[in-house]
Amino acid sequence: MEGNIRGFISYLSEKRDASYNTKISYERDLKKLKEYLEKQGITNVQDVSETSLNSYILYLEKEGKAASTVSRYIASFKGFFEYCLRRGIIAEDPADRLRPPKVEKKFPQILTISETQKLMEEPDVQSDKGIRDRAMLELLYATGIRVSELISLKTEDMNLAMEYVVCHEKSKDRIIPFGTAAKDALIVYLDKTRDNMVGESESEYLFVNCSGKPMSRQGFWKLIKYYADKAGIEKEITPHTFRHSFAAHLLENGADVQSVQKMMGHADISTTQMYVEMQAGNVRDVYKKFHPRS
């Protein structure tokens, strides 16, 4: 089964153009399934049955896994066994009739506009690190790009004059505009700070750490947590919170869904539609709170 899993992951990369995070998630889920089945004496993919898969799902539920997590596992199984069926590795798909549990729809955490403003004001712009941090936060909020995209940006990916950045994806490049606040913060960072931080490393990356090396996801996550605590924001903030806030604030101020979809890089507009539903939910909450006969 190990070889079949490797083949499936390669297929995701070469034929389906799956993201790195998707491949890692599928591989992790399938390896855990493999370990469980081996304990049940099942080592060949041809011997996996619908009953054995349901047994594993029951095991996950008894372990206290959330419905959303179980749904993700089932999606991994379905993709894998469909691949095996199409390749002629198995004669029947044991995952065909698996159905995910009902998942309560939860909207992502977002910052209010005032919370965002507080966070932006926290970096000490009298220091090189603070200037860099302000530029990173401003650009992240101004574009809604993923943190992985932010820390992968190179100086050549940014056009200050035209006020946009280019994010490189396997299928196509994505051009995202940014505004005056981000532009001003970037100008200060490039004029006063970046050369000091890069030193002799001659890095091509736009943002670097204090050693002149590219920023890491973990380093940026700690940075956001630090400034959120300083700003007194009690919400559980992650780097992705900025991405959600970017989309929600644009739609709140009248942007159309298709434009936001393009900027976010969503393949399916239904993903972007979630933020519209959030706004509708906010309207209902306000109505119930303030209408005298609600």
User: How far apart are alpha carbons 111 and 249 in whole angstroms?
Assistant: 9
Active-site residue 146, yes or no? yes
Position 116 scores a pLDDT of 87
Catalytic residue among 23, 225, 240, 262: 240
Point out the catalytic residue in the list 170, 172, 289, 291. Answer: 170
pTM for the whole thing?
Answer: 0.57
In the chain, which residue ranges form alpha helices assigned H by DSSP? 2-14, 20-39, 50-62, 67-86, 113-120, 128-143, 147-152, 180-188, 194-198, 217-230, 239-252, 257-264, 269-290
pLDDT at residue 92, as a whole number: 92
The single residue of 34, 183, 194, 243 carrying the catalytic annotation is 243
Whether 248 and 264 have beta carbons less than 8 Å apart is answered as no
Amino acid 287: pLDDT: 32
Catalytic: 243?
Answer: yes
Question: Quick one: residue 158, left, alpha or beta (phi over 0 = left, psi -120 to 50 = alpha)?
Answer: beta
Active-site annotation holds for 291: no
* pLDDT of the chain, 294 residues: tens digit per residue: 889 999 998 888 887 677 778 888 899 999 999 999 999 999 999 999 999 999 999 999 998 888 888 998 999 999 999 999 999 999 999 999 988 887 665 666 778 888 888 989 999 999 999 999 999 999 988 888 888 889 999 999 999 999 999 988 766 788 888 989 999 999 999 999 999 999 887 889 999 998 888 888 888 889 989 999 999 988 888 777 877 787 777 776 677 667 766 676 665 555 555 555 555 444 344 334 443 433
Domains of the chain: 2-86 (1.10.150.130), 113-288 (1.10.443.10)
Res 249: pLDDT: 76
Q: Is residue 86 annotated as a catalytic residue, yes or no?
A: no
Check if 168 is active-site: no
Determine the 3-state secondary structure of 26 from DSSP: helix
Q: How far apart are CA 50 and CA 72, in angstroms?
A: 17
Contact call for residues 142 and 178 (beta carbons, < 8 A): yes
Q: Which of 132, 134, 146, 194 is catalytic?
A: 146
